[in-house]
Chain A
Amino acid sequence: MRMDLIQPFIGSLDAVLAEMMKAPANIVDLTMEEEGYRRKGAAAVVSFKGQIEGRIILDMDPAAAAHIAGLLAGGDVAPEESLVSEAVCELANMVIGNAVTQLNDRGFEFRVLPPSILAEAQCDKAGHDSEATILRFDTAQGSVHLNIAMHYLARRTHEKVQVG
C-alpha cells in the first residue's frame, strides 16, 4: 500500500487525539491484515468512493473509547454504554475527514460516506484488491487501532491501459 496514502491518516489521528486528549498518541505497531480483522473494543467504519476506494476501521480499547465519549459528552461515560460507540463514530469522522481533506487537496478525488458503528466482532478479510494495514497507537487510556484497506483506482486504470 502506498505510504503517501496512509500518512495523512496517521498524522490526522495523532493530531485529533492530541487535541482532544491533550496528550500525545504514539504509534507502536504496524501489521498487515492476513486473516480478517477481530474487533478489539468499540469500533466505527468509514467507507469512501472515488479515485481511492476502500474502508477504514477505527477501533478503540473500551477504556480509551469511554474516555473519548466522556470528553465529547462533557461527563463520565461507562465503557458499556451504547453512547461509547457513537463517540467512536464521531472520532472516526474527525480523524478520517481531516485525512481525506489533505488527500483531496493533493488532487485525489473521492468522497467519504457517513461513519457507522462496527457491530461484528470478526470482519472478513479486506477485498482481494485491497491490502489492509493495521496501525496501533498507545494513549494513556489504552490502545487505538486504525485498520486501513484501500486501493487507488486511477492508477489501476492507467496500468491496464499500458498493458493492453
Chain B
Amino acid sequence: MKQFEPLTRKGDAQPVRYLIVDDSVFARKSLARLIESFGGQLVGEAADGLSAIAEYARTMPDLVLMDITMPQMEGIEAVERIVHDHPDARIVMVSSVGYQDNILAALQKGARHFVQKPVKPDALYEIIRYVLNDDAVPASVATGENSQ
C-alpha cells in the first residue's frame, strides 16, 4: 500500500487520532489500513450510530470516518447527535450511497465532507488534510525538516 507523508497534530506533533464507524468489519479494516498509511492513530471503532456517539465521547478523536447506512442508528442521525454535543467535531462521511439528498442531509447535520466507496486513498488523504485544515500538518512541516 502506498505510504503518505504522515499527518500530525499541529499543537503537539502527535499522530492524528481517528474514530472509524462502519457496520462492515471489512470496511473498518480497510479504513484502518488507510489511516495507518496516513500516519494516523486509530483510537476507536463502532459498528453503528449509537455506539459511535459513546465512542466519540470516550475517545474524543480528531476526526471521524462515518458510514451512512448502518443498523440501530444511521450515520446521519449519529452526526447530528455528536455535533450537538461536540460542535467542533470533524466528521467525514464514507459511504457507497452518495446521492445528492444524502450528502446534503449529512452536511446540514454537521458533517464536514463526503467520500464515496470504494475509497481512493489519495482522495481521502486530501480530504482529511482539508477538513483538519490548520490543525494537522505533514510531519516534515511539524518537525521543521523543510524549513531553512
Question: In the complex, what distance in Å separates the CA atom of A83 from the CA atom of B25?
Answer: 9
A127, CB-defined interface residue at 8 Å: no
- Max count, chain B CB within 10 A of own CB: residue among A20, A74, A87, A90: A90
> Out of A74, A89, A96, A101, which one reaches B24, CB within 8 Å?
A89
Interface of chain B, helix or strand or loop or mixed? loop
A69 interfacial contact with B, CB 8 Å: yes
Asked whether, in the complex, the Cβ of B96 is within 8 Å of the Cβ of A20, the reply is: no
Is A4 interfacial (CB-CB < 8 Å)? no
User: B108 within 8 Å of A by Cβ?
Assistant: no
CB of B143 closer than 8 Å to a CB of A: no
Which of B3-11, B27-35, B85-93 has 4 or more CB atoms under 8 Å from chain A? B27-35
Task: Find A112's partner among B1, B97, B100 (CB 8 Å cutoff).
Answer: B97
Number of interface residues of B (CB under 8 A): 24
User: Are A101 and B99 touching (Cβ within 8 A)?
Assistant: yes
With A74-B1, A87-B26 known as contacts, the answer to whether A97 contacts B118 (CB < 8 A) is no
Q: Mark A17-57, 1 if CB is under 8 A from B, else 0.
A: 00110000000000000000000000000000000000000
- What chain B residues lie within 8 Å of A69 (beta carbons)? 26
CB < 8 Å: which of B1, B69, B120 contacts A97? B69
Q: Which of A72, A89, A90, A105 contacts B99 (CB 8 A)?
A: A105
Which 5 pairs, one residue from A and one from B, show the smallest C-beta to C-beta distance?
Answer: A97-B96, A104-B99, A97-B97, A72-B26, A90-B26
Chain B positions within 8 Å of A, measured between CB atoms, are 1, 23-27, 29-30, 33, 69-71, 95-102, 116-118, 120
